[in-house]
Structure 1
Amino acid sequence: MLTMYSYPLCGTCRKAKKWLDEHAVSYQEINIAKKPPDREQLKAIIEKSGLPVGKFFNTSGKSYRAGGFSQRKKAEPEDKWLDWLAEDGMLIKRPLVFDKNKATVGFNEQLFENEWGKV
């Protein structure tokens, strides 16, 4: 079964949920604002995704803009970035979907088809 961190008011998350439901893919949903993944879980998810940690920031979100993270990322090492993401789930790009072997961030129908269509 998949785990999906999402936010109820996020349109992209709703699209991802609809895709998973239509393709009969089982998942456990967790509200990313109320219960964000901790630092170690984030690190493991990022490693499974094969993407750089910078791809996990919700750069269009209020938390990102208000916190000045585009400038802060230039001044701090990537190791610190994990702390920021773990402290505020709204900084994390969503949905964040993973199983024991792989992970995706954001929603793209082709990506979901490739990664989760045969689960």
Structure 2
Amino acid sequence: MLKFYGYKKCGACRKAEKFLQQAGIPFEFVDIMENPPSTNELSAIVELADTSVNNFFNTSGVQYRELKLKEKMPILSNREKLALLAGNGRLIKRPLITNKEHATVGFNEEQFSKIWR
């Protein structure tokens, strides 16, 4: 079963939920603000998504700007980046979905059709 880390007020999360529901794909919803994935979970998800940990940051979010992460990203290690994400669900790009074999970050209908159908 898919684990869906999201936020109910997030537009991309609502689109992803609708997509999965219409496709009849069951998932467990986890509120990313209350229960962000751990550093170890995030590390595994980054590997499964086959992308940079940088792509897991919600760069348009208030927290990202307030923490001035754009300037800090080049000097942070991947371990430090994962710790930031695990400590603050608002920093994570949503939705974050995994089934422990595949993972996606954000909502892209074409990508969802390939991976989650």
Tell me if both proteins adopt one fold, taking TM over 0.5 as the criterion. yes
| Counterpart for residue 38 of structure 2 | 38
1:69 and 2:69 are equivalent in the alignment: yes
CA RMSD of aligned residues (A): 0.7
| Counterpart for residue 83 of structure 2 | 83
| Counterpart for residue 104 of structure 2 | 104
What percent of counterpart residues are identical? 41
Gaps of 5+ in 1: none
The whole-number CA distance in structure 2 between the counterparts of 1:64 and 1:100 is 27
The whole-number CA distance in structure 2 between the counterparts of 1:73 and 1:88 is 16
The whole-number CA distance in structure 1 between the counterparts of 2:42 and 2:77 is 16
| Counterpart for residue 5 of structure 1 | 5
Deviation at 1:92, TM superposition (A): 0.4
| Counterpart for residue 20 of structure 1 | 20
Provide TM-score, normalisation by structure 2.
Answer: 0.97
4+ residue runs over 3 A deviation? none
Provide TM-score, normalisation by structure 1.
Answer: 0.96
| Counterpart for residue 115 of structure 2 | 115
Conserved in 1, the CA contact under 8 Å of 2:45 and 2:100?
A: no
